[in-house]
Structure 1
Amino acid sequence: MDNIIQDFSENFIRHIEKYLDNLFEGEKKDISELIEIMQQDMDKLGREALAHVLEKMDQEIMESKERKKSWNIQARDMDKTLITQFGEVKYQRTYYASKNSEDTDYTYLVDDIFGIERYQRLDKGLELDLVEKAEEYSYQKAADMASKVVPLSKQTTLNKIKKLGKIDNRATDEKLEEKEKKKLKYLYIEADEDHISIQKKNRDEDEKDKSENKVTKLVYVHEGRQGARNKLKNVKFFSGIYNKSEDLWEEVLSYIDDIYDMDYIETIFLAGDGANWIKTGLKEIQKTKYVLDRYHLNKYVLKATGHYPKQRSNLWLGLNQAKIKWVRSTFKILSKEAENEEQKERVKEARNYIYSNWAGIENYANDPNSQVCSAEGHVSHVLASRMSSRPLAWSEDGADRMARLRVFKYNGGKKDDLFKLYEHKEKEKRIKMRTEKIIDHRKTLFPVAKETVPALRKGKVSGLQRAIRSLAF
């Protein structure tokens, strides 16, 4: 280890002083160049130090008395390459076979201790960085951002998302044991959808061969709005591609039943644009009252009054007061004033939409506990910004995974939570003995040296060398 640090220090000083000499000689330099020089040296130090730690640990395991009781050496100096944030770390380790006659276990004990899988190429921290960045960026851009030292492909990013699997919408829920259910009179559910392009073949992004649109559903439950910005209180998101809407609503109902006292609830307001899959929630969840999304209602008001804007306020007056006779009278005027078939068709389409969703209009107008719906905005932020606002085409499985990954983030999922999901999904082979018994803790792997970099004692001492000395001695 001393040699590694000495080599780093000498190269570090030499590279920086060369940069400074060029700067003082009048060459145009930028601070980013200096940062890059320092980063390259530190990455090299990280690679060499990590390889040294792994090989040193492997040596101690091999010499351990406890290891000799349970494991036979099968092969030595077996190569392994692990891609990390520092770059490619190459090291050698020992392959062992269990002495237990009933157990034919073969393994690399040092890899087991550090949690490195048999065929693992990427460090788990780097894998999680890929997944986190893929929540916001394309697979290739996520790969470029996560690993600046070793080039990675978009397929690598996709593989890590596949490895994570289908994330449960409730993956971030707290444990419910002995937790008292909340008692609220009113609860709110809002729902909308995002339309994405699905490919014929099982590919995920950046292809022109698009075939059909698929609906990615978004449902979220909350306890109302609070603050000047109307922030949703205790919001919980659900999303994915569901061929049966009932499956989605069963998840939502299960969540509500686990968190809230259903007997205490008086009304659950379900807001949406009137789509059939949203109205299915009225059948699946008791005590629900439908509220029509004002954003979509406004679209149809504009459609109906495009040729006669003077009647717009009149139509809104009837809608806001839920006066059906007033609305019908206004539609008669709009139909009469339509000058061609296209305008008449628009009036007819808007009228049919409003009449078929009249209960949602009436509930919003007459129930003081109902609230506006912000589903369109949430679909834009949670789903569309990553999945449909750019010219991407997905496989159905890829779209479902990404929708769930986005919801995982908006439900408060962090990097530590992703790591726990990885641990849960993986079926790692575990060694049969405790690692504490393999490693002799009576001696330290790296005794502290009084003088780690003797070379710094030589030659002319510069300000930079003094700074390095403070770290080295």
Structure 2
Amino acid sequence: MKEETSPLTDNFHGLKEGARSDANHFKHSTSGGPDPSFGEKISELITGCRDFYQLEKEVQRRSLEMSLGIFAWVLQEIDTHLMNARDKRVWEVVGFRERTLVTSFGELKVKRRLYRNKQTGEAKFLLDQALGWSERSRCTPRLKEMAVKLGVDMPFRRAAEILGYLVPGISPMAVWQAVQEAGEALRQEGESRREAVFEKGETPGGKEKTSRLYIEADGMVIRLQRSEEKRKEVRLFVAYTGKEEVGGGRKALKDKLVMSGVGEGERMWEEVYSGVASRWDMGQVKEIYLGSDGAEWAKQGVDYFPGAVHVLDPYHLNRRLVEAFWHDEETYNEAKQAIASREWERVEEVLNKAVRGVRGVRKKRIEGLWRYLKENWSGIITSPGTERLGTIEGQVWHGAGWRMKRVGASWTEAGADRMARVLSARSNGELEKYTSRWELRLAGQEHLAQAVQVEVKRKVEEAGSWLRAGLPALRGPSAGAPWVKHVLRELSRPSFELA
């Protein structure tokens, strides 16, 4: 049976033949132009694909290979520039060493020169130093940013699977490592601020002005792995200057600052104070309301913020009331009214009446509520800031809980601390600061850029000449077709310039 044809399939078969012709032409072309195997790869691509999915996949793969080649060439040019610009009286080349770099195009093995100081014997890679490439880093900043943003949204294995569609060969461990590096940078920054204030006695120097601050603290228990302890508490904090309407009856926190980590209460509060005081001028703050669920470590915050008033946040108070009186709506309403009156005698009267009428678990819950209210009564009767608090529970879940408490999730203590800090940085809109941290330190960078531009332009012009000479479609009967005029002809036109 004869195969059915159409103008589109005719053009496709013609393109195949053109690719074969180009490949044969390339085999005999002179050196100095594009990669001689380029034509053969195009021929294989066009003649070998059987469906559009495979065609698209192969085009992507070839494009990534080409991008890796360009990237390798750029690094080679920089390394050569550094060799020529070095102080030859001090640094001598002792050989090449290979290192693997995982980029947004895929994995790249980089050969760079190793130098030795003739006077001290010190060994150094000038390329690594110029790129800001630390000894342990494998991922480039751009890939690291993509990996971290996916890693904070989903399990590392799933993040690697999705990222693998764009970056072949990316592993869950590479995603994990990227998140760990960002989290460690955040931990070191927080610890540095804490040491400066509490060990060196430096003034934080916050610049923002506000007369009132709200600070809320809460804990979130997670499961641990590779530890004698089965569980650990992540401490979360949010500081803000108030709430504002954002439409639809909803309110948002003003000037929100989120902090979190795994650590003892006192150390975490020192870090929180240094972070808050590094942002706001504490001399201008007249009122500070510190909200918590009543946990002892959370109430310690009043010792670090002079003049702060502890407030038991409304969410946790109401949750305790519901747990004790879920079976008795009338007593629940009486207890709420008694608490609102801020008269402890009235509260005791309601609780005493309620506890006499029940037994077992219900009685234990009412007695627990009684102790809870007594221990936190001073935080309940503090009225001015009470109505403004109660946001921490939402911050806990939306900021960290959904990622760190998912089904089956478990963490090392260090890994949990770093992940919590990364999630806080994202809530603050600052995550990018901790994923793209390589800074080029390259003397004569402008001169190098000019030299590279000349070389790239020469290669592009050679490639364009080959494309114009080697694509029959540009001169054949289909020369007026849109896919030739607007795609192939533009690809063969080397009229662009590098910025």
TM range (shorter): 0.7 to 0.9
Question: Structure 1's 9 and 45: CA in aligned 2 closer, same or farther, altered over 3 A?
Answer: farther
CA contact (8 A) 1:187 1:269 kept: yes
The 2-side partners of 1:177 and 1:296 are apart by: 32
Alignment identity in percent?
24
1:83 and 2:102 matched = yes
The 2-side partners of 1:124 and 1:195 are apart by: 32
Question: Structure 1's 314 and 83: CA in aligned 2 closer, same or farther, altered over 3 A?
Answer: same
The 2-side partners of 1:361 and 1:135 are apart by: 36
Q: What does the per-residue CA deviation read over 1:397-429, in whole Å, with 9 as the maximum and x for residues that have no partner?
A: 111111111112212213244323x67xxxx9x
Number of matched pairs: 437
Question: Structure 1's 457 and 257: CA in aligned 2 closer, same or farther, altered over 3 A?
Answer: closer
Question: Structure 1's 469 and 92: CA in aligned 2 closer, same or farther, altered over 3 A?
Answer: farther
The 1-side partners of 2:221 and 2:321 are apart by: 23
Map of 1:393 onto structure 2: 410
Map of 1:41 onto structure 2: 62
Question: Structure 1's 369 and 348: CA in aligned 2 closer, same or farther, altered over 3 A?
Answer: closer
User: Equivalent of 1:155, from 173, 198, 206?
Assistant: 173
Map of 2:240 onto structure 1: 222
Q: Which amino acid aligns with 2:443?
A: R
Map of 1:53 onto structure 2: 74
Map of 2:455 onto structure 1: 445
Map 1:366-377 to 2 at 5 A: 367=384, 370-377=387-394
CA contact (8 A) 1:181 1:258 kept: no
Map of 1:434 onto structure 2: 443
Q: What's the secondary structure of 2:260's corresponding residue? A: strand
TM-superposed CA distance for 1:280, in Å, is 0.9
Q: Which moved more, 1:342-351 or 1:246-255?
A: 246-255
TM-superposed CA distance for 1:151, in Å, is 2.6
The 2-side partners of 1:242 and 1:412 are apart by: 23
1:404 and 2:424 matched = no
Question: Structure 1's 122 and 218: CA in aligned 2 closer, same or farther, altered over 3 A?
Answer: closer
Q: What does the per-residue CA deviation read over 1:309-352, in whole Å, with 9 as the maximum and x for residues that have no partner?
A: 222222222223323333223223322321x3222112111222
Q: What's the secondary structure of 1:412's corresponding residue? A: coil
Q: CA RMSD, aligned part only?
A: 3.7
Q: Which amino acid aligns with 1:357?
A: N
CA contact (8 A) 1:85 1:147 kept: no
User: Equivalent of 1:294, from 300, 314, 321?
Assistant: 314
Q: What does the per-residue CA deviation read over 1:148-173, in whole Å, with 9 as the maximum and x for residues that have no partner?
A: 44334333333344444251475999
Q: Which amino acid aligns with 2:221?
A: H
TM-superposed CA distance for 1:434, in Å, is 3.5
Map 1:314-333 to 2 at 5 A: 314-333=334-353
Map 1:325-344 to 2 at 5 A: 325-338=345-358, 340-344=359-363
The 2-side partners of 1:265 and 1:56 are apart by: 55
Residue ranges of structure 2 left out of the alignment (5+ in a row): 1-30, 194-202, 494-499
1:380 and 2:397 matched = yes
Q: What's the secondary structure of 2:217's corresponding residue? A: strand
User: Equivalent of 2:150, from 113, 133, 152?
Assistant: 133
The 2-side partners of 1:171 and 1:11 are apart by: 53
TM-superposed CA distance for 1:181, in Å, is 5.0
CA contact (8 A) 2:289 2:385 kept: no
Q: What does the per-residue CA deviation read over 1:277-296, in whole Å, with 9 as the maximum and x for residues that have no partner?
A: 11111223221112112221
Residue ranges of structure 1 left out of the alignment (5+ in a row): 24-28, 202-209
CA contact (8 A) 2:186 2:434 kept: no
CA contact (8 A) 2:291 2:390 kept: yes
Q: What's the secondary structure of 1:434's corresponding residue? A: coil
Q: Which amino acid aligns with 1:452?
A: A
Q: What does the per-residue CA deviation read over 1:365-384, in whole Å, with 9 as the maximum and x for residues that have no partner?
A: xx367413111110111121
The 2-side partners of 1:166 and 1:157 are apart by: 16
Map 1:60-459 to 2 at 5 A: 64=84, 71-75=91-95, 79-90=98-109, 92-98=111-117, 101-116=118-133, 121-148=138-165, 149-164=167-182, 165=184, 167-168=186-187, 180=207, 182-184=209-211, 186-201=212-227, 211-228=229-246, 229-243=250-264, 245-338=265-358, 340-364=359-383, 367=384, 370-420=387-437, 434-435=443-444, 444-448=454-458, 449-453=460-464, 454-458=466-470, 459=472
The 1-side partners of 2:294 and 2:85 are apart by: 71
The 2-side partners of 1:106 and 1:61 are apart by: 15
CA contact (8 A) 1:8 1:45 kept: no
More helix, by proportion: 2
